[in-house]
Amino acid sequence: MLDANVLESYRMAGSIAAKIRGEVEKIVKEGAPLIKICEVLEKKIIKENGKLAFPLNISVNDAAAHYTSPPHDKSTVPPRALVKVDIGVHVGGFIADTALTVSVGKVGLELVKASESALEKVLKSIKHGVKSSHVGEIVEKTIKEFGFKPISNLTGHLLDKYTLHAGKSIPNVKTRIGFTLKEGEVYAIEPFATTGAGIVEDSKYSYIYRMPSQKTSTPFLSHIAHEFKTLPFAARWLVSKFPKAQELIKRFASTGTIQAYPVLIEKERGIVSQAEHTLIVKKNGCEVTSA
């Protein structure tokens, strides 16, 4: 069971994230600069009294996840594209993680439906005692019925205070082994569907970072530790205070002090859709915080 204050924080983070979801379709349009979308939506989270659990992810077409605009990004939304917008809000470290896919120029509508429908079915079936392998089976079956492939090496995840991936993964395919979901646990569930192979790989680009251990040996690291704790951050958030942020990040990444998250690309360059919500497992069902 969750403590009342913890529950309240999860709900507050969820309701802010839900509000931001409602803004996405209005702003993701052909020609819109990606950096503007990131900045506008991140500002809205702050304005609603939330904090950023991670940089706004805006991943286009065959990029499945982990793209955020670097400083001075010139990229724009293409005329025909599937755009995944992944939103992370936290209140006192308690996180809502939610994503939706916008079809620009009417491409990939069935692909969008496939991941949404998989998520919907999962939300209806989750309760105390459900097995993670069963959730994976639902996702896989639903996406395959649409004629697409689920992405097998991307997963949902247990959430904990200031921790996005708290050690348990919810698969997007049926697995032989697994674990049981328990009342009071908080999960992000995120089916990905693709026209490609169903596998993502690291690209050579990284724009999202994290400092796993709280080092404070330089003003730069101390600032990161204080502002973001162990949560992911973007260079974009640091350049006004630290004009050499990108160089510093590169240097600390080479020694392992900072961890870089490469943009994840579909192996066969298939286009990718994603749907994600955060939920609290209950005795006889679940409470979706981010809807």
Phi–psi pair at 128, nearest 5 degrees: -50, 130
Beta bridge partners of 59: 84
Contact 135, 127 (CB under 8 A): no
Considering beta carbons, is residue 13 or 188 the nearer one to Mn ion? 188
DSSP H helix total and E strand total for the chain: 6, 16
- In the complex, minimum distance from the CB of residue 36 to Mn ion, in angstroms, rounded to a whole number: 21
Shortest CB 193 distance to Mn ion, Å: 15
Pick between residue 114 and residue 188 the one whose CB is nearest to Mn ion. 188
Annotated catalytic residues are 86, 97, 157, 165, 190, 276
171 C-beta neighbours (distance < 10 Å), count: 21
- In the bound state with Mn ion, the residue whose beta carbon lies nearer, of 57 and 175, is 57
Nearer to Mn ion, 85 or 104 (CB): 85
Instruction: Provide long-range contacts, Cβ within 8 A and 24+ apart, for 250-253.
Output: 252/211, 252/220, 252/221, 253/206, 253/209
Kindly state the tokens that stand for 71: 């400083």
Q: Coil, strand, or helix at residue 258?
A: coil
Indicate the helix (H) or strand (E) that contains 266: strand 259-266
Q: Which stretch binds Mn ion (CB under 5 A): 10-18, 213-221, 271-279, 283-291?
A: 271-279
Cα–Cα distance for residue pair 215/50, rounded to 1 Å: 25
- Which residues inside 126-155 make contact with Mn ion, applying CB under 5 A? none
Tell me the closest approach of the beta carbon of residue 99 to Mn ion, in angstroms: 5
Number of residues that bind Mn ion (CB under 5 A): 5
Binding mask 67-106 for Mn ion (x = CB under 5 A): -------------------x----------x-x-------
Q: Looking at 26-34, 172-180, 251-259, 269-277, which segment touches Mn ion (CB under 5 A)?
A: 269-277
Residues 165 to 194 in contact with Mn ion, rule: CB under 5 A: 188
Q: Does 58 bind Mn ion (CB under 5 A)?
A: no
CA dist 79 and 282 (Å) reads 42
Residues that bind Mn ion (CB under 5 A): 86, 97, 99, 188, 276
